Amino acid sequence: MSKNYGLFRELVLTGLKRKNWSLRRLCRKVSLDPSFFSKVLAGKRNPPSEEHALRKIAEILSLPPARLMVAAGRIPSEWREKLSHPPTFQEIDARLAGVRETQAVAPIAESAAPALKRPRHLPDPELRAEREVLQIAFPKKDFAEELL
């Protein structure tokens, strides 16, 4: 039995309905087995794990690729580099945990020297730049809802 991929199912079914396509037609275009994909949409199997297949489904159904991949339980490749940067990861993790931006976790280097920590109202310039990038990349206030 698969995890809860309700959003994935909803996105695919909405895309199929909007295009007035059958499941078989989509599977032919993406080179997926219709029996397998039918089980995916029924919640009996996990969505495809290959990023190129998920991107092709998104392209064909005119869906946002990153949203479909996240709904399938995958991290889009364009996000991996951003998430490997510690301050960016900490910021996203803090948002997902429901922590306010002013209470974000301090960078690792500062946490090693507590006497040299900056007051929270004067953030590190690098963190401030990361927050600005995040606000451009993820403009919605409730980032957790966007990911889910």
Domains of the chain, residue spans: 6-76, 85-147
Question: pTM for this one?
Answer: 0.59
Q: Say if residue 10's pLDDT is above 90.
A: yes
d(CA 83, CA 108): 15
Across the chain, which distance is largest between two alpha carbons, in Å?
63
Residue 24 CB coordination number (10 Å): 11
**Topology (CATH) of 6-76:** 434 Repressor (Amino-terminal Domain) (1.10.260)
Share of the chain above pLDDT 90, in %: 43
Q: What is the pLDDT of residue 80?
A: 81
End-to-end CA distance of the chain: 20
Q: What sign does the dihedral 119-120-122-124 (CA atoms) show?
A: positive
- Greater confidence (53 vs 142) lies with 53
Q: What is the pLDDT of residue 135?
A: 53
Quick one: pLDDT band at residue 128, thresholds 50, 70, 90? low
The one-letter code for the residue type at 148 is L
Q: Say if residue 24's pLDDT is above 90.
A: yes
Mean pLDDT, the chain, as a whole number? 75
Structure letter (DSSP) for residue 30: H
Calculate mean pLDDT across residues 1-28.
88
Place of tokens 């600005």: 132
Tell me the pLDDT tens digit for each residue of 67-79.
999 999 888 888 8
- Greater confidence (17 vs 86) lies with 17
The lowest-confidence range among 46-55, 59-68, 109-118 is 109-118
The interaxial angle of helices 34-41 and 23-30, nearest 10 deg, is 120
Structure letter (DSSP) for residue 45: S
